[in-house]
């Protein structure tokens, strides 16, 4: 299990480099497996990566019909709401990939189910029905408070260990109601790619990579890939890292 930090010159280079790594890894997975399983993220880089994937010549070699998608978290808003992570990913280019709609697993919104808990339970069922919650790649953005998915510092949603999904209430970042994969689920990935840019993230990046980091304070420290964890960070976000 390795952790690596790639320091890149700009947010665009973060998106482009992560997109290249994603395309390469999907090709490797699909060469030996019927299906690749990917959990996506919101945020600006979590969306920008899809434009970068489309611009990457290798994307045409990927059999996207065999790539199954979930989201690491979703804002509990109606389908198509412009503030939903999936809507933003689609608008940034995800919807232009030749995916199989049957394996694009979205979190049900309030137009379809009566509570975020119901959405979380239904989402867990779709995960169990299609792959059992083992990911090849989990993409994560990170907030300045070091939150990943919708697992925020000192928030009780972090404590859920007996489920793969959780309904998140009273999120410190709007909207207040969300559905998230739990740490238990996010840790079941071969690879974890963190996409981080901006000086406002510098302190969180340094905290998350510290040997004594506590996920309760710094949720980004709580997710590691089974094979690799790769941080794609721009120079501003890397500015508090101590070089050895």
Q: CB-wise, 43 or 131, nearer to ligand 6PG?
A: 43
Q: CB-wise, 27 or 79, nearer to ligand 6PG?
A: 79
Q: Is 143 in the site for ligand 6PG (CB under 6 A)?
A: yes
Q: Could you tell me which stretch among 27-35, 97-105, 136-144, 157-165 binds ligand 6PG (CB under 6 A)?
A: 136-144
Q: Is 173 in the site for ligand 6PG (CB under 6 A)?
A: yes
At closest approach, how far in Å is the CB of 66 from ligand 6PG?
Answer: 26
Q: Is 154 in the site for ligand 6PG (CB under 6 A)?
A: no
Q: Is 141 in the site for ligand 6PG (CB under 6 A)?
A: yes
Phi first, then psi, for residue 162 (nearest 5°) are -110, 20
The Cα 113–Cα 39 span in angstroms is 22
Determine which residue in the list 85, 165, 189, 218 makes contact with ligand 6PG, applying CB under 6 A: 85
Q: CB-wise, 41 or 103, nearer to ligand 6PG?
A: 41
Show contacts with ligand 6PG in window 41-80 (CB under 6 A).
Answer: 41-46, 73, 75
Which positions lie near ligand 6PG, rule CB under 6 A? Answer: 41-46, 73, 75, 85, 141-143, 173
């Amino acid at each position: 299990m390795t952790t690596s930090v790639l320091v890149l010159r700009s947010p665009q280079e973060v998106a482009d480099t992560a997109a290249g790594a994603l395309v390469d890894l999907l090709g490797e997975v699909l060469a030996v497996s019927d299906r690749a399983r990917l959990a996506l993220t919101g945020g600006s880089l979590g969306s920008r990566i899809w434009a970068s994937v489309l611009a990457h010549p290798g994307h045409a070699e990927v059999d996207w019909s065999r790539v199954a998608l979930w989201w690491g978290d979703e804002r509990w808003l109606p389908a198509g709401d412009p503030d939903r992570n999936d809507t933003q990913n689609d608008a940034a280019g995800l919807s232009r990939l030749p995916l199989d709609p049957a394996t694009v697993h979205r979190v049900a919104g309030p137009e379809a189910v009566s509570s975020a808990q119901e959405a979380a339970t239904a989402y867990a069922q779709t995960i169990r029905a299609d792959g059992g919650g083992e990911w090849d790649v989990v993409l994560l953005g990170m907030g300045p408070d070091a939150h990943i998915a919708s697992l925020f510092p000192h928030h009780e949603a972090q404590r859920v260990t007996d489920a793969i999904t959780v309904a998140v209430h009273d999120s410190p970042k709007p909207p207040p109601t969300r559905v998230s994969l739990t740490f238990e689920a996010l840790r079941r990935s071969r690879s974890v790619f963190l996409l981080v840019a901006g000086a406002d993230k510098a302190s969180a990046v340094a905290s998350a990579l510290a040997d004594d980091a506590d996920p309760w304070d710094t949720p980004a420290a709580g997710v590691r890939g089974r094979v690799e964890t790769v941080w794609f960070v721009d120079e501003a976000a890397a500015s508090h890292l101590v070089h050895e």
